[in-house]
Structure 1
């Protein structure tokens, strides 16, 4: 298999796996158990990992709250912040997000409408970018929170978070960003955000573990999603999964170390893949801003006559996708692409491809050969 679906998930780096293994069987203590060596060792491992994750985004360790992934982190950020403000008597009821956000962000904002909040969903331009002017206009009404993702999970487009967060803070609202697709893939700082969501499996760590950055100074306050033993400073109760957290920390360390060299290599592989596909499919279109996208990501609209699902069926040994993994069971067109102005027929001709750390040049060559066979077969059939 040639794996070109790294925006959906990434292979767990072998060094990450090696770091995790002892914590499943050798060092299996509960990190919340005090007074014996097994618990102390686990607690130390958790805090070392917390420091590594914090370093990746320029935070302090106390600002990192471990969660089960970015979906939980997004829910905690949006619902937790909104409910805390409401409990404190704030009259700010507007929640602003963007039409191309991850489903869990859009649904969290919509869920809060039943609690008296006003959801505002901003449009995007054809390039996938949200207009600063649109945000400014929306912020004219007192707003509780704005949530805008750093990098889109389908197109790889990078939003101008620094500008958008500055507008938000000037209006007195909290700013949250879903950085699951950005962390470990580009230079990233939490300085512009009050809340930031992360996910380990998007940058070669294990599935099932993520984190929420919660700014400490000035302090951002949240209401927990559920009750329990009060772990993670009372924000996320439950026994911490030490092996997964250790893996998360190791993935963060590796990402920080490899970042400067990895991005140019991925850009080269992406360019090789795109150039080859443009030769095979004249009229191929790249969806989203080309200048503002992470190194490994492509979202492509194939010429008329090429249905995305037919191309996928003709390429059983290549892993790619028609859109977000979070909504892959849906048969409707990608809501991200339709929000960018594509109609249903256009969206049905689109594929998402993404190269990663373990993608090689020979794999790109082989993938292009198989795409070539699929293109010739499609032309003969038509």
Structure 2
């Protein structure tokens, strides 16, 4: 990291593109730039082959078949495709479309569900969680036993970093014959996931969360499940998602998945060690600091903290030229409303208002960890002194 740029610790928002991924993408931008749907010349053939190879790399990482991979612009589109595309049958049969959803899901899930509910097209059931963000599996099973149209539970939370028992959840859904949408955008490439074995019906993936590029993603769709398209214009990708394929982005996603399969285990151990070091330094330097979420089951790079009675906006204002961290999800950046995730945990207002999300990744150095601890602790000390002076 250049001395003139802030230390980057917002890996949950987006990751830097791995130079090896960028290098491979460049070839498909400048040399093999063909349209994968152009079958009349070798430019199209090469692009089509690259897309097929990318599907293999993605499938290998998440435990699906390459034929189950649909390419999208990212996890948000993948999620919308499932939630909106799955209501068709219930609309035709006039059955009530019921979606059970975790209250700490990404806004891409929640806002889409609420939009359908507002139109009278779906009924939403919220699953139960505790103050650490852990899902009540007994309640989830009770909901599934009663019969629902779709179950939505993420693999890992984008704010507090909780990892959810997707294999167990998938088995419950499978036993109840309920389609299961898993937003795995924060989890793929960080923790093992097996689409087939875990009983997942739909798996959403985003390239820019695993060292690929923005604007590229995928959706794994289990065989024999049908989705109505929400984008029309060419019947591409088995008629599920039309539009010219983003070949460089798809190649980048495939290469990123290939690299994560090779390096994930070693990288995540190193990242976890750096996270623990930063956590210990901050706990030592900042009295009253709280760790949010479930510390026994969280992403290796996640550190979600609160300093009660110290507004997070005040901290960001002091550190933003030196340190890139966030007050919450990137999808809500700049929005003055409190985090829906922390509100769902029923945390006190002063804890919510003092919350900061720190995301560590494979390019974070030990030196940056030490510097970040000093920057944050100094800023908070200065804020506390200023607040005491005002009083």
Q: TM-score, normalised by structure 2?
A: 0.94
- SS of residue in 1 equivalent to 2:218: strand
2: CA distance between counterparts of 1:23 and 1:122?
Answer: 44
How far is the alpha carbon of 1:16 from its aligned partner? 0.6
* CA distance, structure 1, for counterparts of residue 42 and residue 120 of structure 2: 46
Q: Retained in 2: the 8 A contact 1:67–1:212?
A: yes
Moved over 4 A (4+): none
What is aligned with 1:102?
Answer: 106
Equivalent pairs counted in the alignment come to 378
Question: Please, which of 56, 69, 74 is the counterpart of residue 69 of structure 1?
Answer: 74
- RMSD value, Cα: 1.3
Alpha-carbon distance in structure 2 between the residues aligned to 1:71 and 1:5: 19
In the alignment, the residues of structure 1 paired with residue 231 and residue 166 of structure 2 have an alpha-carbon distance, to the nearest angstrom, of 30
1:278 alignment partner in structure 2? 283
Structure 1 residues 205-216: aligned runs within 5 Å:
205-216=212-223
Comparing 169-178 with 206-215, which one deviates more in the overlay? 169-178
Cα distance in 1 for residues equivalent to 2:43 and 2:217: 24
> Is residue 307 from structure 1 mapped to residue 311 from structure 2 by the alignment?
yes
TM-score by length of 1: 0.96
Does residue 112 (structure 1) correspond to residue 116 (structure 2)? The answer is yes
Equivalent pair of 1:84/1:222 in contact (CA under 8 Å):
no
**Aligned-partner Cα distance in 1 for 2:377–2:299:** 26
Contact 1:93 1:142 (8 Å CA) reproduced: no
1:174-253 correspondence to structure 2 within 5 Å: 174-191=179-196, 192=198, 193-216=200-223, 219-253=224-258
Shift of the alpha carbon at 1:92? 5.2
Map of 1:136 onto structure 2: 141
Give yes or no for the alignment of 1:319 onto 2:319.
no
Give a deviation string over 1:236-261, Cα, whole Å, max 9, x none: 00000111111111100111110110
> In structure 1, what is the equivalent of residue 303 of structure 2?
298
Question: Which structure 2 segments of 5+ residues have no match?
Answer: 1-5
The alignment status of 1:83 with 2:99, answered yes or no, reads no
Q: Is the 8 A contact 2:103 2:341 kept in 1?
A: yes
Deviation track 1:257-312 (CA, whole Å, cap 9, x = no partner) reads: 101101110110000100010011122111111111010001101143x2211111
Q: 1:259 to 1:215 in 2, by over 3 A?
A: same
Contact 2:62 2:193 (8 Å CA) reproduced: yes
